[in-house]
């Protein structure tokens, strides 16, 4: 039995991850920590967990094997580091940290202590992407030439944490990692950033949109777009010498959604795939890594931190 603790009662935790963990055999939610007990009490009661005041008090508990950290990105480096030093395995919301250096330090710390540190990008655990990758490998669109992906959401209230620089806000940090992670999924981790641009909101003090051009070692180009002030979009497209594959609703896919993979060649073919639960699959993958003592996604997380840093560096030029 793996005992889990929660640091902070973010919406994604109470709405998605905790129910998924509660449903996985061999795991239990042992403790819920918050700086505000009134906020954490209904969460603890709902999942039969102990109520803990303060994050460090939870990390000091010997009955907690692993923790989920859905805190704002600007707080990840401190609290993920504290959790690892307390001997806890960690599932941390994306991005793992707000800098390449901090991400590498935490990954190295986890490895040195034999602990699992997993960045919570859930979409790769949905079966639709493995099917698309199979189609490309089978030659369904010939030789792959270009990849494009976009993830953007409508504007939120100005006091949303996504617009607070001190908490790690901004479009690149919040949504930019998704299309970059998709490029990694299909093209590998050895991507380079050819060019990038970020659009800033001077009143908010953060970037609210951007795009980047990436390139794989074998010359496949990838164009990624992201933003926090857009009509909603969540899609990718792979374009080859003999056809094109496009998929919508790829990053935050509901468990009941049946994905439609469009394959354009001489004619359009639409493949309707089974529904899949990427949240449950992610929870299961984390627990499996903890039980087996294996790393999960470490290389991709390390490479993605470098890509995000290069996007910011090139955009600043």
**Does 130 lie in the same domain as 24?**
no
**Catalytic annotation, pick one of 39, 41, 88, 94:** 94
Of 119, 102, 147, the C-alpha closest to 250 is 147
Residues in CB range of 21: below 8 A, 6 or more apart: 4, 27, 29, 68, 283, 287
Whether residues 113 and 141 fall in one domain:
no
For 114, the 3-state DSSP assignment is: coil
For residue 79, the tally of other CB atoms under 10 A from its CB is 19
Is 298 domain-assigned? no
Q: Indicate the residue among 103, 120, 137 that finishes a domain.
A: 120
Q: What is the pLDDT along the chain (317 residues), one digit of tens a residue?
A: 999 999 998 889 999 999 999 999 999 999 999 988 888 999 999 999 999 999 999 999 999 999 999 999 999 999 999 999 999 999 999 999 999 999 999 999 999 999 999 999 999 999 999 999 999 999 999 999 999 999 999 999 999 999 999 999 999 999 999 999 999 999 999 999 999 999 999 999 999 999 999 999 999 999 999 999 999 999 999 999 999 999 999 999 999 999 999 999 999 999 999 999 999 999 999 999 999 999 999 999 999 999 999 999 999 98
pLDDT score at 39 = 86
Sheet containing 117-120: which strands, arranged edge to edge?
50-53, 27-34, 2-7, 66-69, 89-93, 117-120
Q: Are residues 131 and 271 in the same domain?
A: yes
Residue 232 lies in a domain: yes
Where residue 24 sits, what CATH number does that domain have? 3.40.50.720
Location of structure tokens 């560096």: 313
Q: Does residue 35 sit in the same domain as residue 171?
A: no
- The angle subtended at Cα 231 by Cα 225 and Cα 234, nearest 5°, is 50
**Closest C-alpha to 222, from 266, 262, 185:** 185
Q: Please state, in angstroms and rounded to a whole number, the distance separating the CA atoms of residues 199 and 179.
A: 17
Domain that holds residue 194: 124-276
Is 77 in the same domain as 102?
Answer: yes
Write out the two tokens for 68.
Answer: 């989920």
Same domain, 196 and 155: yes
Task: Give how far Cα 45 sits from Cα of 10, 30, 31, 38, 59, Å.
Answer: 16, 11, 10, 11, 20
Query: CATH number, domain at 143?
Result: 3.30.360.10
Residue 120 near residue 95 (C-beta atoms within 8 A) = no
Instruction: Give yes or no: residues 158 and 247 share one domain.
Output: yes
So what's the pLDDT on residue 317? 84
272 and 130 assigned to the same domain: yes
> Helices (H), strands (E): how many in the chain?
11, 14
Q: Tell me the sheet residues that pair with 118.
A: 91
Alpha-carbon gap, residue 187 to 311, rounded angstroms: 17
Same domain, 102 and 67: yes
Residue 234 lies in a domain: yes
For the entire predicted model, the pTM comes to 0.96
> Does residue 238 form part of some domain?
yes
Quick one: pLDDT at residue 219? 96
Residue 235 lies in a domain: yes
Q: What is the structure's pLDDT at 36? A: 84
149: left (phi > 0), else alpha (psi -120 to 50), else beta? beta
Residue 78 maps to a domain: yes
Which secondary-structure segment (H or E) carries 312?
Answer: helix 298-316
CA nearest to 148, candidates 252, 230, 234: 234
Residue among 3, 2, 9, 4 at smallest CA distance from 53? 9
For residues 51 and 174, membership in a common domain is answered with no
211 in the same domain as 137? yes
Closest-CA residue to 238 (of 227, 226, 252, 222): 222
Is the separation of the CB atoms in 210 and 176 below 8 Å?
A: yes
Tell me, yes or no, whether 249 lies in a domain. yes
> Does residue 190 carry a catalytic annotation?
no
**Residue 284 counted as domain residue:** no
d(CA 219, CA 216) in angstroms, rounded, equals 5
The total of structural domains in the chain comes to 2
Shared domain for 245 and 191, answered yes or no, is yes
- What pLDDT shows up at residue 35? 87
Task: Mark which of 95, 120, 145 sits at the end of a domain.
Answer: 120
């Amino acid at each position: 039995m793996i005992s889990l603790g929660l640091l902070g009662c973010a919406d994604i935790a109470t709405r998605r991850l905790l129910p998924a963990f509660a449903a996985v055999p061999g795991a239990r939610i042992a403790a819920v920590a918050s700086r505000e007990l009134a906020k954490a009490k209904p969460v603890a009661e709902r999942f039969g967990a102990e109520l803990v005041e303060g994050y460090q008090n939870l990390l000091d508990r010997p009955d907690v094997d692993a923790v989920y950290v859905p805190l704002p990105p600007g707080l990840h480096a401190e609290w993920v580091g504290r959790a690892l030093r307390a001997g806890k395995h960690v599932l941390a919301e994306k991005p793992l940290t707000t800098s390449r250096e901090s991400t590498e330090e935490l990954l190295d710390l986890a490895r040195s202590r034999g602990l699992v540190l997993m960045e919570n990008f859930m979409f790769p655990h949905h079966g639709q992407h493995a099917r698309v990758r199979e189609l490309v490998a089978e030659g369904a669109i010939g030789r792959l030439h270009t990849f494009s992906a976009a993830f953007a959401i409508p504007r939120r209230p100005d006091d949303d944490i996504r617009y607070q620089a001190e908490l790690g806000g901004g479009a690149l940090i919040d949504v930019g990692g998704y299309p970059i992670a998709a490029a990694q999924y299909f093209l590998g981790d050895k991507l380079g950033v050819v060019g990038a641009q970020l659009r800033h909101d001077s009143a908010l003090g953060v970037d609210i949109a951007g795009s980047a051009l990436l390139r794989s070692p074998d010359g496949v180009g990838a164009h990624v777009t992201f933003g926090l002030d857009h009509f909603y979009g969540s899609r990718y497209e792979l374009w080859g010498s003999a056809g094109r594959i496009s998929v919508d609703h790829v990053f935050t896919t509901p468990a009941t959604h049946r994905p439609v993979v469009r394959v354009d060649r001489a004619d359009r073919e639409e493949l309707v795939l089974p529904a899949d639960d990427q949240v449950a699959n992610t929870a299961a993958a984390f627990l499996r890594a903890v039980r087996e003592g294996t790393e999960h996604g470490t290389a991709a997380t390390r490479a993605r931190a470098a890509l995000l840093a290069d996007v910011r560096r090139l955009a600043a030029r």
